[in-house]
Amino acid sequence: MAKVTSYGAASMVTGSCHLFEVGSIRILVDCGMIQGESWQDNYEAFGFDVASIDYLILTHAHADHIGRVPKLVKEGFNGEIIATQATLDISQIMLLDSAALLYEEYETLLRKALRRGEEALVREPLYLKEHVELVYTKKIRKVRYGELIQIAPFLNITFHNAGHILGSAFITITYQEDNMQKRVVFSGDLGSRNRLLLNGLEDVTQSDTLFIESTYGDREHRPITESIAEFRSAIIETMERGGNVLIPSFALERTQEILWLLHSMHEEGILQKCTVYLDSPLAIAATKIYQKYPLELNEKIGLHVALGDNPFGFPQLKYTQRRIDSMEINTVEKNAIIIAGSGMCTGGRILHHLKQRIWNSKNAIIFVGFQVKGTLGRNIVDGAEFLRIYGDEIKIKATVHTINGFSAHADRADMVNWMKKIEGLHHIYLIHGEVEKMELFKSYIHQQLDCKVHIVKKGEEIYL
């Protein structure tokens, strides 16, 4: 009997890792990093025999879906990796960046521990750059949306566009059991239908079973048109009073969405006096990958590319790769729009820009992504009066804009409408969410669909 066991993102938001077994074939769907408070759990054993995995499927290149792949390889995975070309490209820059950060943190901890004579207590980094490189020496199959991938005579897999980030997919696994054809869908992360850059989430017509993420299973998003209008007026207002704008942003997807919006504003002649700084090497690398795949983007963006236009570029845009160029931005007095990571102000170059500019009432900070509790970004959004950055206490006088409609995740209405189109669906398993939100999502689904809904626990074996 086919079986699914969740080794991560079971009743939690991160660390996505699900094992599907049928006959003698073992397929791992995603192998993500555990983020937040339980981060140290990444060091623990996976809970399954790594060397016995035949296939690793990657739904998309966010860290919580791919972040432990180098650890998997380091610990003996020798199967085949299956993903879209864009996911493989983005994963490579994300994992190299992750390895560099892990090493930086390790060096800092080691330096401090040496002073205390406690260096033996410092753990080695979770993985190194060489383990990321090792991933790309494995057998890799690049797939397109809709392509039928035969794994065995009784088993095939198809990737479908999930509309979440570039290259993202949900997966249909079709298999024969007891002379019957069965289907199971793994959602990965799902986007909504109205995305700025991507084609929207594809429909799935048939499946018996669905494993679905439930990040926003408790809410509905505001329409994106409202968010675009808010974003534009925040920029225009700040420029009119001679201020500067800081945009803490995630390197992937959100940054490219912001660049596209600024590109449109440039075409309308609104940005003439500004300079836009993309101050993040990772975001610069990600943007270059987006430029490589115009056919994966929606018609509107594709048309710009076909006409020879770069939808993520405009004359006022400057890439600042080096740290020294980033520091140089401090000398700009007005009309700077600075896009820098991290998206929640937990580190990265945005910190020095905040320190430089947030005490001045002419300036503005625009949050374009969700801010998790306990992060510096969330403190600002929640109305903190002071910030402590690099040891200095700084008063927040800049205008704070919080724009919530740019989410890359489908909301509960999007997800249920999508499920309603799945013929034959009788079991829904909720993964990738906080337990309280999953309970709310479960009752929301029950109101609208005649299906069994179950919240998956870590390590629980589910027979399909």
Do the Cβ atoms of 408 and 193 come closer than 8 Å? no
Tell me whether residue 170 or residue 314 sits nearer to Zn ion (CB atom). 170
Shortest reach from residue 286's CB to Zn ion, in Å: 14
Subset of 365-394 contacting Zn ion (CB under 5 A): none
Shortest reach from residue 67's CB to Zn ion, in Å: 11
Stretch that binds Zn ion, among 7-15, 54-62, 216-224, 357-365 (CB under 5 A): 54-62
Tell me whether residue 34 or residue 151 sits nearer to Zn ion (CB atom). 34
Shortest reach from residue 348's CB to Zn ion, in Å: 19
Shortest reach from residue 184's CB to Zn ion, in Å: 20
Do the Cβ atoms of 337 and 277 come closer than 8 Å? yes
Which tokens is 264 given? Answer: 């449109």
Tell me whether residue 196 or residue 358 sits nearer to Zn ion (CB atom). 196
Stretch that binds Zn ion, among 2-10, 146-154, 184-192, 292-300 (CB under 5 A): 184-192
Tell me whether residue 90 or residue 239 sits nearer to Zn ion (CB atom). 90
- Regarding 97 and contact with Zn ion (CB under 5 A), the answer is no
- Binding-site member from 30, 189, 296, 414 for Zn ion (CB under 5 A): 189
Tell me whether residue 33 or residue 53 sits nearer to Zn ion (CB atom). 33
Q: Which helix (H) or strand (E) holds 113?
A: helix 85-116
Residue (of 202, 274, 196) closest to 235 by Cα position: 274
The amino acid present at 399, given as its one-letter code, is T
Shortest reach from residue 371's CB to Zn ion, in Å: 17
Tell me whether residue 62 or residue 74 sits nearer to Zn ion (CB atom). 62
How many other C-beta atoms lie within 10 A of the C-beta of residue 84?
25
Shortest reach from residue 35's CB to Zn ion, in Å: 11
Number of residues that bind Zn ion (CB under 5 A): 2
Residue (of 140, 159, 178, 160) closest to 22 by Cα position: 178
The amino acid present at 410, given as its one-letter code, is A
Tell me whether residue 21 or residue 213 sits nearer to Zn ion (CB atom). 213
Subset of 112-141 contacting Zn ion (CB under 5 A): none
The residues, any chain, with a CB within 8 Å of residue 342's CB and separated by 6 or more, are: 248, 250, 348, 350
Q: Which helix (H) or strand (E) holds 17?
A: strand 17-22
Separation in Å, CA 435 to CA 12, 87, 215, 272, 453: 7, 29, 10, 48, 14
Separation in Å, CA 133 to CA 38, 79, 270, 317: 26, 16, 44, 32
- Regarding 62 and contact with Zn ion (CB under 5 A), the answer is yes
Shortest reach from residue 202's CB to Zn ion, in Å: 16
Binding site for Zn ion (CB under 5 A): 62, 189
